[in-house]
Amino acid sequence: MTDPTRLTAHELTDAFRSGAATPSAVTEAYLGRIAKLDGKVRAYLTVTDGRARAAAAASDARYRAGKPLGPLDGVPISYKDVLSTRGVKTTCGSRILESWVPPFDATVVTRLAAAGVVPLGKSNMDEFAMGSSTEHSAFQLTANPWDLARVPGGSSGGPAAAVAGDLAAISLGTDTGGSIRQPGAFCGIVGMKPTYGRVSRYGLVAFASSLDQIGPFAKDVRDAALVLRAIAGVDPADATSVDVPVPDYAASLGEGMRGLRVGVLEYDTAGMDPDVQRAVTAAIDVLKGLGATTQAVTLPTADHGLAAYYIIAPAEASSNLARYDGVKYGLRALGKDLIDMESRTRAAGFGAEVKRRIMLGTYALSSGYYDAYYGKAQKVRTLIRRDFDAAFEHVDVIVGPTTPGVAFKHGEKEDPLAMYLNDVFTVPANLSGNPGISVPCGFSTSGLPIGLHLVGRAFDEATILRVAYAYEQATTWRTRRPELA
């Protein structure tokens, strides 16, 4: 058998059912690879080998009894360290939560445990999910498996690098402004942000509550469909989760492109990497060849998306992060009185980017500025949602680049504004709530992966998965993999 860490989740469960492999053997292969290679990639903050072995042994027994729990039983997974795991440290990449051990599991973790997955550990991220390179982690730099001198993207850089480097079969990230789709593109894997409300946020440590969504990283589109099905659906513990039926995404993957209308996003090419433009244009030709009709689409207000996002997200963050006061949980610094203790705790516990966001957000919400900044940004948000609604009257999916460029070098983007520009194509779908997916669509001349971004109607993840699958099956990009040795 080929190295099992190269296989997709659905290939693994096929092998488990046929008896060609066991969850325990595959888990050992992953743990061995993590021990050998994660010193280079540094995708993991915590490896839960004991839990992984116990879950794998239980899965072995279910296969032996001919009663697996479903299409993910025995599949090794990594969780972004912003997802609460009962009894396992959940740091959010921050000193302030360095030793926080949640007393409960996030709903997505509970649901995947019920689906039989094997939890390998918790993976690195930008502090509180603020960033696009994972360089804002308080603990370690994560490397891109395609070129260890480069970033994996962010903020879900750890879970993306884990899947790309075959250090996990699948993983979960979170996407507030692009943090699943951008690292998916940079690492050459599939990354999906579901519709806002599709997946419960219970147990996800909040960054910007009206934008945050949890979604999968996977080695192919079928795996992303399987993971989404397992985590999606209404949850009484999250009032923003929506009670709409969860379709069998994997079942409709093969329906093809026929009859689908693809909207080709018109975008400003200033500052774009020409390799990305070329790859995306070629990908659109592939979709046409598969029978799609295409038409140009503009999202006129999306040009203001970044500006609106960088008001709304910090505003919500400044409120959400008020809870880290040294009293309830996490780090506590000594001070001469309560206020002094709180301010010392926050000064010591938060990194520079988090402090920048708290200041921006507090300013935008302060009296006298609220209407000028926050109120205005919310209006822009409404207009962006209307742009999408108008476009989706004529097309079924909108296609464009996931990012303006490919993975950059560690330390290359020190200017915060240069970092924020990474999110220009992903942020609009967070503001509107629409689902988006990044699927590999080629390589730069320097050999770095490029992502194709597909956005769909609200709660119509099925269509973007179907288009991504048709594209993936018509191309061979997924056969090219990074070599870590």
* Contact positions vs ligand GLN (CB under 6 A): 129-132, 155, 175-179, 207, 313, 423
Least distance from ligand GLN to the Cβ atom of residue 327, Å = 26
Cβ closer to ligand GLN: 31 or 151? 151
| Set 80, 122, 219, 413: catalytic member | 80
Least distance from ligand GLN to the Cβ atom of residue 320, Å = 12
Mapping DSSP to helix (H, G, I), strand (E, B) and coil, where does residue 291 land? Answer: coil
Q: How deeply is 200 buried, as exposed, middle or buried, from its count of CB atoms within 10 A (0-12, 13-18, 19+)?
A: buried
Helices marked H in 97-207 — which ranges? 107-114, 157-164, 181-187
Cβ closer to ligand GLN: 131 or 159? 131
For the chain, how many helices (H) and strands (E)?
Answer: 15, 11
Least distance from ligand GLN to the Cβ atom of residue 16, Å = 34
Least distance from ligand GLN to the Cβ atom of residue 190, Å = 17
Q: What is the DSSP letter of 308?
A: H
In angstroms, the Cα distances linking 33 to 24, 59, 95, 243 are 14, 21, 28, 40
Least distance from ligand GLN to the Cβ atom of residue 458, Å = 18
Which residues share a beta bridge with 398? 263, 455
Cβ closer to ligand GLN: 71 or 184? 184
Cβ closer to ligand GLN: 74 or 216? 216
Q: What are phi and psi of 329, to 5 degrees?
A: -160, 170
Cβ closer to ligand GLN: 135 or 472? 135
How far apart are alpha carbons 333 and 397 in whole angstroms? 50
Active site residue 155: yes
Least distance from ligand GLN to the Cβ atom of residue 117, Å = 23
Tokens representing 212 are: 């945050």
Q: Would strands 76-80 and 170-175 be described as parallel, antiparallel, or unpaired?
A: parallel
Cβ closer to ligand GLN: 228 or 312? 312
Contact criterion met (CB below 8 Å) for 172 and 111: no
Active site residue 80: yes
How far apart are alpha carbons 135 and 358 in whole angstroms? 18
Helix (H) or strand (E) holding 365: helix 352-365
| Set 123, 155, 318, 432: catalytic member | 155
Q: Which residues of 53-69 are buried (b: 16+ CB within 10 A; e: fewer)?
A: bebbebbbebbeeeebb
| Set 179, 241, 318, 432: catalytic member | 179
Provide CB contacts within 8 A for 130, sequence distance 6+: 136, 155, 207, 317, 353, 354, 357
Contact criterion met (CB below 8 Å) for 313 and 176: yes
Active site residue 179: yes
Active site residues per annotation = 80, 155, 179
